[in-house]
Structure 1
Amino acid sequence: MGGVIDTNILLYAANRQAAEHPTARDFITQAARSSEQWYLTSGLVYEFLRVSTHPRVFPQPLSAVQAVRFIQPFIRSSAFQVLSPGERHWDLLDEEVRRLGFPAGNLFFDIRTVVLMREHGLRVIYTADTDFLQFPGITVVDPVHQR
């Protein structure tokens, strides 16, 4: 089953020191080779670039060239599509913010992803981030910590 792949899964796949690395690497490799449709957002791509090159966040940061080279095959793969905001984006954002009450800070990264998912009729996100559990109608699958 295809779906959106969140930044943390990409980061685990890129970080060879992470315990989750082999599982995440295998997961995204299989996704790229599958007949399923997979999705990223431009925000997730840029978040990957930001975190993977940041020396205070990423244990062994990638150079900008390495980070782009890591993500490029997925962006160019016919198995992946990068979601963009459409005409309903801002109305859906307004609905999500009202439903959540008083979201703030980093939660807006997740809100943006969820709004894009809703706009494109997607319900499944592959992530290790439990914050996505608070969004009704979104199915969260953790491909690296499955029990």
Structure 2
Amino acid sequence: MLVDANVLLYAQDDSSPHHPAALRWLVDALNGDVRIGLPWPSLLAFVRIRTNPRAYARPLAPDAAWQQVSDWLAAPAAWLPTPTERHAAVLTGLARRYQIGGKAVTDAHLAALAIEHGVGVCSADTDFARFEELRWVNPLASAR
């Protein structure tokens, strides 16, 4: 399972109404028996957004955000997925099939990465439902 940035953001932001469900899912997953992929695009988006004073009234200091990333990567089930030699073909195939552009490009990249590694994506973003080839889990929906 690969983790999208929104799950990381909700799990870390205790002011979010989604915090309890996202944190519970992430802690359980990172300490479970199945490897959990933390792709660099998700980790970088977490740092970029969570340290931005325009996005948060109380942004994290950069050192705190990077420490959080280090802590997640040190978890027993954490794994840093990398693109395989098939990545370009899988990604462009998804982009063409679903006419992907704009903000959806990163979603397509995560979907391609997951497909290459035979895993799903964990995200609160319902846009992942468009990818028929992908197993998508919304940890917030399962908490309702």
Q: Fold match, TM over 0.5?
A: yes
Could you tell me which residue of structure 1 aligns to residue 123 of structure 2?
127
Counterpart CA distance in 2 for 1:132 and 1:15 is: 22
User: What SS does the aligned partner of 1:83 have?
Assistant: coil
Partner residue in 1 for 2:139: 143
| Secondary structure of 2:121's aligned partner | strand
Deviations 1:13-34 (A, max 9, x none): 1111101112211221111221
- TM-score of the superposition, structure 2-length normalised? 0.92
Does residue 109 in structure 1 map to residue 92 in structure 2?
no
Preserved contact between residue 30 and residue 78 of structure 2 (Cα < 8 Å): yes
Task: Please list every run of 5 or more consecutive structure 2 residues that lacks an aligned counterpart in the other structure.
Answer: none
Distance 1:141 1:91 in 2: 24
**Distance in 2 between the 1:125 and 1:34 partners?**
16
Task: Check 1:33–1:78 CA distance in 2 against 1; reply closer, same or farther (3 A cut).
Answer: closer
Work out the CA distance in 2 between the residues paired with 1:29 and 1:6.
15
Q: What CA deviation, in whole Å up to 9, does each residue of 1:88-126 have, x standing for no partner?
A: 11111221111112x22110110110111111122x221
Q: Is the 8 A contact 1:37 1:80 kept in 2?
A: yes
Separation in 2, partners of 1:58, 1:105: 24
Pick which of 22-31 and 9-18 moved more.
22-31
The aligned amino acid for 2:26 is: I
Distance 1:37 1:96 in 2: 24
Deviation string for 1:48-97 (max 9, x for gaps)? 11111111123421111111111212212230111111211111122111
Q: Which runs of 5 or more structure 1 residues have no equivalent in the other structure?
A: none
Q: Aligned pair count?
A: 143
Q: Which runs of 4+ in 1 moved over 6 A?
A: none
Identical counterparts, % of pairs: 29
Q: Pairwise CA RMSD of aligned residues?
A: 1.3
Letter of the 1:45 counterpart: L
1:118 partnered with 2:139? no
- Higher mean alpha-carbon deviation, 111-120 vs 56-65, is at 56-65
Provide the secondary structure at the position in 1 that maps to 2:26: helix
Structure 1 partner of 2:86 = 88
